[in-house]
Amino acid sequence: MEYSDEPNKLDKYDRRILAALQLDGRISYTDLGKKVGLTTTPCIERVRKLERAGYIEGYSARLSAKQLDAGLVVFVQISLDRSSKQTFEEFRLAIQNLDHVQECYLVTGSFDFLVKARVRDMRAYRDFLEEQLLAVPGVYGSTSIAAMETVKETLAIRV
């Protein structure tokens, strides 16, 4: 299959590039080209096209939660007061400003949002919950689930 500029049309080289960059975003273009079977210049061109097309949203470093004293992961099920249509939007805006929150999803089911927070320990979580998360206007209730062990954690997407 030839390279295509059409969205959702990736050839084998594009897929190899994306898979390799997910594992090592700092790999040199020369090494990336060798890994995927291209010379350096076409490899650079493909990476740039993938970036422009939105397949690559950015590059970042994985930090050690343990070294940064943020080893406790807590998932919080949030229920909102549904008396106002603005409650959901206000929650979405407020959650952006809570530094301990790593992820937040609007979900289906018996609660409204699922929040992933990372803190130092249970005491720090209690402070975060009481002083920040439950203080967000419209929060009606919460259920917390502390992770005992990380079994799998990845940002990689199957390509």
For residues 81 and 53, membership in a common domain is answered with: no
Is residue 157 assigned to a domain?
A: no
Tens digit of each residue's pLDDT (9 = 90 or more) over 58-117: 999 999 999 999 999 999 999 999 888 899 999 999 999 999 999 999 999 999 999 999
* Tokens 């807590």 sit on residue: 74
Is residue 15 assigned to a domain?
A: yes
Is residue 152 assigned to a domain?
A: no
Question: Which pLDDT belongs to residue 1?
Answer: 39
Cα(146)–Cα(144) distance, integer angstroms: 6
For residues 90 and 120, membership in a common domain is answered with: yes
Range of the domain at 84: 72-146
Query: Domains in the chain: how many in total?
Result: 2
* Tokens 């992770």 sit on residue: 147
pLDDT band at 6 (very low <50, low <70, confident <90, very high): low
Look up the pTM and report it.
0.86
For every residue of 4-71, DSSP letters joined together read --STT---HHHHHHHHHHHH-TT--HHHHHHHHT--HHHHHHHHHHHHHTTS-----PPP-TTTTT--
For residues 58 and 77, membership in a common domain is answered with: no
For residues 142 and 76, membership in a common domain is answered with: yes
For residues 86 and 35, membership in a common domain is answered with: no
Range 49-62 average pLDDT = 96
CATH of the domain at 89: 3.30.70.920
State which of 24, 44, 62 marks the end of a domain.
Answer: 62
54 token code pair: 């939105």
Cα(52)–Cα(29) distance, integer angstroms: 17
For residues 141 and 92, membership in a common domain is answered with: yes
Nearest 5°: the CA angle 142, 143, 145 is 140
